[in-house]
A = this chain, B = another copy of it.
Amino acid sequence: MKFYDCATAPSPRRVRIFLAEKGIELPTVQVDLRGGEHLTPAFRAINPHCTVPVLELDDGTPICETGAICRYLEEIHPEPPLMGTDAKDKALVTMWDRYMEHDGIFAVRDAFRNSTPGMKGRALTGADGIEQIPALAERGRALAQRFLDDLDARLAESEFIAGPRYTIADITGLVAVDFAGWIKLPIRDDQPHLGRWHRAVSVRPSAKA
């Protein structure tokens, strides 16, 4: 297998943390997103969507999209389980992971990509030139703030995001919360549960990934 990564980008960090929690090391290729390497014919041949992360299997099949890569890794390397144990737990982990992505990462992405000068014409990942929409940046920022408040409330009642155990939802949540720092939405003092959880997941060795 070969892992196409970009060390500075949030989405591939989700896979890096997942790999670290599983204790898997993979040959890794850094893709220079800032330099536009993802738009070259060579990279398009690997992933026509022009995004990282990509996991290339030994038979050459490219698995694109974070969730698909993590599903593959969970199947071939089940321990420790990061995507749930029984049917109910798997469903709850899926639900919470989705909230972290949709309410968290997508909101911050909208805020960041639609307002940052360097992201002009790149308001979405991928090959298309997508123009910024200032109103979408504003909406994303409001939703990201709401996400952090909601997550604080969730973590008042649960040790980890999807329940009593660390799962992929905590990985996606950590990446979302750290990504919110990019738009200057730090964890506030009146979000103590979020702060407690963030310290706990950030001291795991995987968080450095």
Interface size class of A (residues with CB under 8 A): 20 to 34
Asked if A7 lies at the interface with its beta carbon under 8 angstroms from chain B, I say: no
Q: Are B133 and A57 in contact (CB under 8 A)?
A: no
List A43-76 residues whose CB lies under 8 Å from chain B. Answer: 49, 55, 57, 61, 63-65, 67-69, 71-72, 75-76
Residues of chain B contacted by A206 (CB below 8 angstroms): none
Complex: chain B residue closest to A91, CB-CB: B72
Asked if A95 lies at the interface with its beta carbon under 8 angstroms from chain B, I say: yes
Q: Are B130 and A139 in contact (CB under 8 A)?
A: yes
Q: Are A68 and B92 in contact (CB under 8 A)?
A: yes
Q: How far is the CA of A132 from the CA of B63 in the complex (A)?
A: 35
**Chief secondary structure at chain A's binding surface:** helix
Residues of chain B contacted by A98 (CB below 8 angstroms): 65, 67-68
Asked if A191 lies at the interface with its beta carbon under 8 angstroms from chain B, I say: no
Q: How far is the CA of A119 from the CA of B65 in the complex (A)?
A: 31
Residues of chain B contacted by A146 (CB below 8 angstroms): 128
Asked if A90 lies at the interface with its beta carbon under 8 angstroms from chain B, I say: yes
Q: How far is the CA of A49 from the CA of B143 in the complex (A)?
A: 13
Please encode chain A, from 86 to 111, with 1 for each CB lying within 8 Å of some chain B CB and 0 for all others.
Answer: 11101110110011000000000000
* Cβ-neighbour of A61 out of B57, B64, B88 (below 8 A): B88
List A94-145 residues whose CB lies under 8 Å from chain B. Answer: 94-95, 98-99, 128, 130-131, 133, 135-136, 139, 143
